[in-house]
Amino acid sequence: MDHAIIVEKLNVWIRGNHVLKDIDLKVPQGSVTAIMGPSGSGKSTLLRSINRLVELVPGTRVKGKVMVFGRDIYSEDPYRVRKDVTMVSQTPNPFPHMSIYDNVAIGPKIHKLVKSKKELDKLVRWALEKAMLWDEVKDRLHEPPTVLSGGQQQRLCLARALALKPKILMLDEPTANIDPVNSKKIEEAIKALVRDEGITVIFVTHTPAQAVRVSDFIAFIYNGRIVEYGPSRELALNPTHELTEKFLRGEIG
Ligand SMILES: Nc1ncnc2c1ncn2[C@@H]1O[C@H](COP(=O)(O)OP(=O)(O)OP(=O)(O)O)[C@@H](O)[C@H]1O
Ligand SMILES: [Mg+2]
């Protein structure tokens, strides 16, 4: 089986705090993996280790290996890594002084992915369609993102991440602060991206039902360690570790 991501013995310290401990994880190409675990367990840090955003925090030390499509990302150009492995962060953070259009266009412009305005227009539209936002913004592309609702802003950030044509998409609690209708759209968008574009997705969620609906595999993290990993339905219905069981019953986290 081809793996999009292989993490081996990954350890991360942030200002002396041992945040990730001996993480091993293999993510098959074209699959969806849900990361679950209590607050502070290291979920966001794990995502940020897979595109090297973690090292932007001063005082961070990373040990171990992260391979993306067979290449050790810690020996690569971090900008290239972040183009191939894009991320939507926990709270929507569109660039407030840029238009909706420019929020999506900025990445492809910087990375010189397109040669003409026409090509750029096409890519922006594609990304907004894939983020299931196009119909809601097509008549106001040149307005600032502040005219959008929180859920729409989250999908704008998804479009911004997709405009880089990533191989891997990471979403950190993409539906945590948004309503059911917007959540459903994000879930549908993830499934379609995997099905139609072959993108590999990792996302963090606090909702077991969502993990089962959307993901193929669940990794359960507790206190910086992966304590359980397996096919989503099996893990959610039949957890083998006591901590996973407690978490799923809502007793921790
Ligand atoms: N920039 C930072 N500076 C200092 N400590 C940090 C930083 N980022 C994360 N940490 C620490 O690393 C640990 C894991 O944090 P992380 O954000 O990865 O958890 P999480 O599982 O995503 O939690 P949540 O569910 O609340 O988002 C925490 O103890 C946190 O305090
Ligand atoms: Mg987090």
Taking the centre of ligand 1 as the mean of its atom positions, its distance from the CA of residue 54, in whole angstroms, is 11
Q: CATH assignment of 3-248?
A: 3.40.50.300
**176 touches ligand 1 (CB under 6 Å):** no
Contact (CB, 8 A) for 163 and 134: no
pLDDT of residue 252: 86
Global confidence as pTM: 0.95
Q: What average pLDDT values come out for the chain (253 residues) when binned by 10 residues?
A: 93 97 97 97 97 94 96 95 94 94 97 96 98 97 96 95 97 91 93 96 95 97 97 95 93 84
Task: Name the residue at shortest CA distance from atom 9 of ligand 1.
Answer: 45
Q: What was the pLDDT predicted at 177?
A: 83
**Count of all residues that appear for the chain in the document:** 253
Burial of 135: CB neighbours in 10 Å, binned 0-12, 13-18, 19+: exposed
Residue nearest to atom 17 of ligand 1 (CA): 44
Query: 46: burial class by Cβ within 10 Å (0-12, 13-18, 19+)?
Result: buried
Q: Which ligand is nearest to the CA of 19?
A: 1
Q: Tell me, what's the pLDDT at 1?
A: 63
pLDDT for 253: 77
